[in-house]
Each structure stands twice: as structure tokens, then as C-alpha cells.
Amino acid sequence: MIAQRHFLPDHSYPPIDFPSSNFGGKAGPPLILSIGRDASKLSTRACNLTETGCSVKSAAPEAVSNLVIANFYRVALFDDSLCDAETAELAVCAHASDPRTKLVLVAGSTSRPSFIEALFDVVVFASEGPAALTRSVQNLLSAA
């Protein structure tokens, strides 16, 4: 007879209660792609979202096309370190790859042109802090 082991869940950070893990019946945490040039911001953002139960892949804009094709990301976050042209091109690419991907623009102190902001499901200002971004991502994932 094999002894059964019971593990208590780790409740150090409250996970987000997602209605379904991923589209297509795949089990696991929701996949989030965080795109930007500032490694420090990407790392901090990944830590904050990972603590809520998401799986975050951070990438420079040059690596995004291969990542978008290889995986389905429930949410793609775009950092304010990207120029307008990069932001627009990558947003269109991510949406064309899978229209179910929700797009979030993290804006800096200045807003982006309206035609760029219109490409995104949500625009969050960095000045609102990490809690605003986490709430926005949670709301997008819960609505999906």
C-alpha cells in the first residue's frame, strides 16, 4: 500500500480566481506577455502578477513575434518604453495572431495618441501603481 501525502496550499499571496485557466482547454495559470525595454520594470511587473497566480513572460519587442506565434497569451502588456510605432505594430500583430488576446497599455506620464490607445482593451497609467495594473488584468481575465 502506498502512503498518500496531502499538501496544504501555499496562501502567502492570494491568487486571482480565474473562471478558466486558458482558452482551448489547457490547464495552468493564465499566460501574460509583458513587452518592454526596461528590464527593471519588466521584472517588477512580472513579480507582482506572478504573485496573483499568473504566468508572466517578459520580452523585448524584437522577440515578440516568435513568442506570440509559439504561445497563446491571455493578456499582452505593453510598456511605456516602446515608441508609438513599435506599440502599434506589436499590438496589431498580437491581436492578429489571436483576437482573444487582451491588450493592456501601461502609459507613462503622457498619454499616447488616440489611434494607439484605441488598439488596447485597457490603458493603465504607471502613476496609478501596480495595484491598478493587477486589478485591470484581473478584470480582463475574469471577463474572458
Q: Residues 98-113: pLDDT tens digits?
A: 888 999 999 987 778 8
d(CA 106, CA 2): 51
What cell does 72 get? Answer: 497563446
Pick the CATH number of 28-128 from 3.30.70.1350, 3.30.70.580, 3.30.565.10, 3.40.50.2300: 3.40.50.2300
- pTM recorded for the entire structure: 0.78
Which residue has cell 491598478? 132
pLDDT band at 78 (very low <50, low <70, confident <90, very high): very high
Question: For residue 24, is pLDDT > 80?
Answer: no
Q: What are phi and psi of 49, to 5 degrees?
A: -75, -30
H/E run at residue 41: helix 39-50
Q: Residues 33-57: pLDDT tens digits?
A: 999 999 999 999 999 999 889 999 9
d(CA 73, CA 122): 16
Amino acid 95: pLDDT: 84
For residues 114-127, give the mean pLDDT: 92
Which amino acid makes up residue 39? A
124 CB neighbour count, 10 Å cutoff? 20
